[in-house]
Amino acid sequence: MARLLVTGGAGFLGSHLCGRLVELGHQVVCADNFSTGSRDNIRQLLTVPAFELIEHDVTLPLDLDVDGIYHLASPAAPIHYQNDPIRTTRTNVLGAINMLDLARSRGARILQASTSEIYGDPE
């Protein structure tokens, strides 16, 4: 059983990923600062022994023993970029650097998620 970190694990996609990884028999650590995610999204997982929640902002380094990282933490909605572009960019850049550093230090694989916003507005 692998120990997997899901950043942004209390968000819509992250919470579903956490649930599926637990179903597959993995130990899951969910890291979220709840700026856009919700405890309601992971409420059903909070009593599951294979699930651990840590409140953490990915702009800060994280030191965990993990086998893999799913990096989903990002304020991805256009409103976040419009209202606070500096904070949004800081979260994305520092979050990616910190998760890459963690992956390198642990010899862990990492999956960096993106957003549908890269495709622009549908016409």
In this predicted structure, what is the pLDDT of residue 122?
Answer: 66
Above 70 in pLDDT, residue 33? yes
**pTM of the entire predicted model:** 0.93
CB 19 within 8 A of CB 48: no
Q: What pLDDT is stored for residue 82 in this prediction?
A: 84
Among the listed residues 71, 73, 81, 70, the one whose alpha carbon sits nearest the alpha carbon of residue 117: 81
| Domain 3-114: CATH superfamily, name plus number | NAD(P)-binding Rossmann-like Domain (3.40.50.720)
Supply the pLDDT for residue 103: 99
Contacts for 59 with CB less than 8 Å, ≥ 6 apart? 90, 91, 94, 95, 98
Angle value at C-alpha 45, between 66 and 18, nearest 5 degrees: 45
- What length does the chain have? 123
Q: Phi/psi zone of residue 67: left (φ > 0), alpha (ψ -120 to 50 degrees), beta?
A: alpha
What per-residue confidence (pLDDT) applies to 24? 98
pLDDT reported for residue 86: 92
pLDDT in tens, 54-113: 999 999 999 999 999 999 998 877 787 788 889 989 999 999 999 999 999 999 999 999
pLDDT of residue 17: 98
H helix runs in the chain, sequence order: 12-23, 39-42, 78-83, 85-106
